[in-house]
Chain A
Amino acid sequence: MRLELHKRPVASTALSYLAPVIALTLTLVAGAIMFALMGKSPIAALYTYFIEPLLDPWSRDQVFFKATPLAIIAIGLCVCFRSGNWNIGAEGQYLIGGLVGATVPVLFPAFSSPLLLPIMIVMGMIGGGLYAFIPGFLKARFGTNEILTSLMLVYVAQQFVDWMVRGPWRDPQGMGFPGTKQFDDSGILPNLVGTWDTHWGAVFAIIAAVAFWFMLSRTLKGFEIAVLGQSPRAGRFAGFSARQMTIFAFVVSGAMAGLAGISEVSGSVEKLDDKLSLGYGFTAIIVAFLGRLNPIGCIFAALLLALSSIGGESAQIMLGISDRATRVFQGMLLFFVLASDTLIHYRIRLVGRTPAAREGAV
């Protein structure tokens, strides 16, 4: 007896919707086994991870708050990954977006105007976009491996932002702590609801998800992205330019990462400091794939990953479960999602001994 994969003649539509549900179920089962092996009650652990944060208003706010940058970055990455360009450096574009977006309030602290926030957001997007243009251009012009260049530029960005907030841009009245002056009130992205931490970035995420979904599924640009991602030669035959697409995809995803960056800087910290880099740009890669490179899917994937990390924090406090368990959990989730995707294209069949095998070997 063995399992065989049989390719379906046509991909199953039902399973393309069911696969994430199957994956989530399998993750929960595997997670329960893991907690049982650790000597914790699986029910209590899963409850703490996935249910409790949803019941408590503060935790709920934290889930939305953490999901916001993840979703915004992942939505941009959908364009990049679908077109076959591997931007691994969203974290760097996020940082540079935050830095460039903060230029006006840092250099002109007296400038107070309703225009300040839009200026900051646009500059943040330009900053992230231009920073992503570097690996995009290098790939398009010289055939450089974009995975390496975009990743290396993350470290450059981290060091550069760190130097800026400790050196030229440090607030002289900041007691020596690294960080710029607090922004003018007109440069602060408002919270969504009164005392929440979640800011208007969440609205940007939803608007972006709808806009990007429309572009990818309904416009010629979306078709071009898909064709070049799947079959560059067929794309060239269609008259699409792979080089222009590389630059487009990098700049768009960089601009989205920059938007996430400036939203965090102006909506959460309200100044630029040395704690901006929290790994959102890397986690967003998981979010993008978990959301099956679909912008709407990215919103749900971002919420799920945010939920598991908030749940992980409370599991750490309440049950003494290490935060590494959370990472194992996220890893299992990604694993099962990718594995369940197989079901969309293949049918699993349990096969007995084949007729040929029954005859025995010669």
Chain B
Amino acid sequence: MESPAPTTPLFEARGITKIFGELRANNNVDLTIEQGEIHALLGENGAGKSTLVKIMFGSLQPDGGEMFWLGEPLAVRAPAEAREAGIGMVFQHFSLFDSLTVAENIALSSPPGENISDIAERAEMLATQYGLPLDPTSLVGDLSVGERQRIEIVRCLMQDPQLVVLDEPTSVLTPQEANTLFETLFRLRDEGRSILYISHRLEEVQRICSTATIMRHGKVVDSCDPREETAGSLAAKMVGADIVDVVRPALKGEGAQILEVTGLSSFADHPFATALKDITFNVRAGEVLGIAGIAGNGQGELFARLSGEEPASGGSVKIDGSECIEHGVTERRASNAAFVPEERLGHGAVPVMRLSENMLLTHHGEDGVTGGGGLRTVAGRFVAKAAQAVVSAMDVRKSSHNPPAASLSGGNLQKFIVGRELVRKPKLLIVNQPTWGVDAGAAAHIRQSLIDLAAEGSAIVVISQDLDEIFEIASDVAVMADGHLSPVEPVANMTRERIGLLMAGQNASEVAA
């Protein structure tokens, strides 16, 4: 699609402005999407990308500006009108009902009239065609994040849209799966459709997008051809400064065994859960173990057994030499372990509660936090001060002094949740998807702080679907597939292809280094 576009642009926004209270989330934003192009929208978290996209989709009304569709004025007062016009959306935060099946969720956004088994059939067909396997009868509540995203993509394609907006689509896919998705996108483009592609993964943007619009602090700061830029120059445009590369110090000798997991197993609690099968691995002080794998292969289940949120059916978990398998999460924290779960809102933090209250969530078992003897009164000022310390240590940007967790952008909340665990200088830190949906600047900050913690002699387990992340920070790698964990190997022995094969469930012995 190198030919110059002779046609009118498919979509055009001029001077879009949206104000929330004091904040100009979108300030006079222009965006032009040509027919049949893959157009990247780049920017840090909080730059205003999501706001712009919500305005395009009619879920927000702009305070000023105009939009055009094929040169004609376009009014989008509700998502249904956007879909009718031909705009399809795959949101970063899924809008799915947990208690409904995949097919029912898709039917909810379909025009009325079609019966649900037809929808299920069509969805399954589209899903297979685009390499996004889905069982239409599964309950969404039982699915992993990765599987939920597939529903969103398929649901969008069901509408046969002219313009497809994808918000961070590859963050939960394996390299192989991402390649399939790109092929899907190329096919859609070759059919004459346009794609607005929002991502923080610059190398992806360079690979598949022909135009990039870059936003910072609510304004469009640049527009360029990403193929003519380097990842570094794109990142610099996004954050307005050069991003510091993560520095990984060399390991100094063999540290002490901090985490010893032997034969850890669990039953599947519900039909779509993955049972853990005889998981064994050790992590030493100073090591960062990266656990790779496709969403839904037991990573969430493993995290819950390592943190003690869910009981295991067998095996042993030793933290710093003492057996913890029977212990709950509070006791494991007392053994100097710390945990960062995958979901920020609703798992790592209570959305409506203020940062200081969310601080208490994982620190209530510590000295000085509660007093009053048996009454266990909360030392509010002490906790608030600790929360402020996390905020300044991690450079968490927020709109007021002590805001509710839900009002922070994803990247800033993640910095807070990670920082909340770092302040206690844990001997063992277990993190699930540390930078999922987090902007490049915040991700680099979080990764560097994990590496720094390891350098100070802590053991770290990073469960991640992001291979770039694993190669960037892990000293050792293991791969999860269907509840099994492959043997741990030094990162130097691993290649992307080999990890990809292990992800697909092949035996380590078959996948020779």
Contact = CB atoms under 8 A, between A and B. Distances in A.
Interface of A: 4, 8-11, 218-221, 223, 226-227, 230-231, 233-234, 236-239, 351, 354-357, 359-362
Given A9-B403, A10-B404, A230-B350, A239 B378 contact: no
B361 A357 contact: no
A234 B348 contact: yes
Contacts of B403: 9-10
B276 interface: no
5 contacts: A10-B407, A223-B378, A226-B350, A234-B361, A354-B62
Contact of A362 (B69, B357, B378): B69
A238 B361 contact: yes
Q: Which of B329, B350, B365, B372 has the most CB of A within 10 A?
A: B350
Interface stretch (B264-272, B339-347, B468-476): B339-347
Contact of A355 (B62, B341, B361): B62
A236 B400 CA distance: 28
B195 to A, nearest CB: 22
Contacts of A8: 21
A355 B333 CA distance: 54
Contact of B66 (A227, A234, A359, A361): A359
Nearest to B328: A239
A238 B362 contact: yes
Contacts of B103: none
B378 A234 contact: no
A220 B370 contact: yes
B400 to A, nearest CB: 6
A137 to B, nearest CB: 20
B74 A362 contact: yes
Contact of A9 (B20, B76, B331, B377): B20
Nearest to B358: A234
A226 B64 contact: no
Interface of B: 20-21, 61-62, 64-67, 69, 72-77, 85, 307-309, 328-331, 333, 339, 341, 343, 346-353, 357, 360-362, 364-365, 370, 372, 375-378, 399-400, 403-404, 407
A335 B67 CA distance: 40
A227 B350 contact: yes
B341 A237 contact: yes
A256 B404 CA distance: 32
A356 B378 contact: no
Given A220-B378, A237-B347, A359 B75 contact: yes
Given A237-B309, A356-B73, 8 more contacts: A220-B376, A231-B347, A236-B309, A237-B339, A238-B330, A356-B75, A356-B77, A359-B75
A313 to B, nearest CB: 41
Nearest to A361: B75
Contacts of A238: 329-330, 361-362, 364
A357 B360 contact: no
A234 B349 contact: yes
B456 to A, nearest CB: 25
Nearest to B362: A238
Contacts of B364: 220, 223, 238-239
B346 A356 contact: no
Closest 9 CB pairs of A and B: A239-B330, A359-B73, A356-B75, A220-B376, A239-B329, A231-B350, A238-B361, A362-B72, A234-B350
Given A237-B329, A356-B67, A362 B350 contact: no
Given A219-B375, A233-B346, A356 B74 contact: yes
Contacts of B346: 231, 233-234
A10 B402 CA distance: 10
Contacts of A221: 376
A355 B61 CA distance: 9
A356 B66 contact: yes
B339 to A, nearest CB: 7
